[in-house]
A = this chain, B = another copy of it.
Amino acid sequence: MFTERFLRHRRGVHLEIEERARLETAIGEIKTLPPRTNVVVAGEELSQSILLLEGFMSRYIDDRNGLRQLVAVHVPGDFVDLHAFPLKILDHDVATMTAATVAIVPHSALETITQDLPALSRKLWFSTLIDAAIHRAWLFRLGRLDAVGRVAHFISETNVRLMSAGLSDGRRFALGLIQSDLAEICGLTNVHINRVLRQLREERLCVFRSSLVEILDPEKLAAVGQFNPAYLYIDLQSAEVPSSCPRPIT
């Protein structure tokens, strides 16, 4: 079941068994990608989209000086560039952050789904709109929060998304990002990200290491980042505590 994490715990869009099966058959190929690999370049015409199964991916826009602004981070279960199906050409690049396993879905297969299954089509549409809602939360983060708030907000968001994917127990998760990734996410320099991480550590809110993120005080961290998870449309009532997330190194 490659699609098992897709739209999981998403409020109001439960996938029926037949719908999930139909998506499974739409998958053309499973691929493993090395870390830090570009998979989509802005401006090129696309005929397929990527469902992320394992690992982390990013979408970003380059500026004139070669710096980049990340506009999205994707976790397992995300249909990373489904928006390329209607748009055909993207305005940004897509790359792996860590090693990743992906399912390739040809647009021709999505085409037949939109012809036959309006209900499933609507759920695909919905999933692209969650990405847009996350964009808006990121706008809030960049426009209204200071450096500490931005990092706290991002870590809180990622924690909830990974809980929904069964990859965090609510306090501890693996994330293959380095400090300069955080800088490109939060619109800060890596020097300042380093200062912020030290502060979060010293205030016993959260410890960020590339291999493992540990949230010591989830409520306070969320408060510092003014994080309100409503925009994720996740209903964690139904989420079991996973067994597969990283354990403390006691």
A interface list, Cβ under 8 A from B:
12, 42-43, 59, 61, 63-64, 67, 69-72, 83, 86-88, 91-92, 114-115, 118, 121-122, 125-126, 128-129, 131-133, 135-140, 142-145, 186-187, 226, 230-231, 233
Contact = CB atoms under 8 A, between A and B. Distances in A.
The 8 A-B residue pairs whose C-beta atoms are closest, nearest first, are A143-B187, A91-B231, A135-B135, A142-B142, A132-B132, A69-B143, A71-B136, A86-B126
Contact of A139 (B42, B129, B139): B139
A12 B88 contact: yes
A136 B137 contact: no
Given A87-B126, A187-B144, A69 B114 contact: no
A69 B140 contact: yes
Given A118-B121, A226-B64, A233-B87, A132 B128 contact: yes
A17 to B, nearest CB: 21
Given A61-B139, A61-B140, A114-B122, 12 more contacts: A12-B88, A43-B230, A61-B144, A64-B226, A67-B144, A70-B143, A71-B136, A86-B129, A92-B136, A125-B128, A139-B142, A143-B187
24 contacts: A42-B230, A61-B139, A61-B140, A63-B144, A63-B145, A69-B140, A69-B143, A71-B136, A71-B139, A71-B140, A86-B126, A87-B133, A91-B133, A91-B137, A92-B136, A115-B118, A118-B118, A129-B132, A131-B132, A135-B136, A135-B139, A138-B139, A142-B142, A144-B187
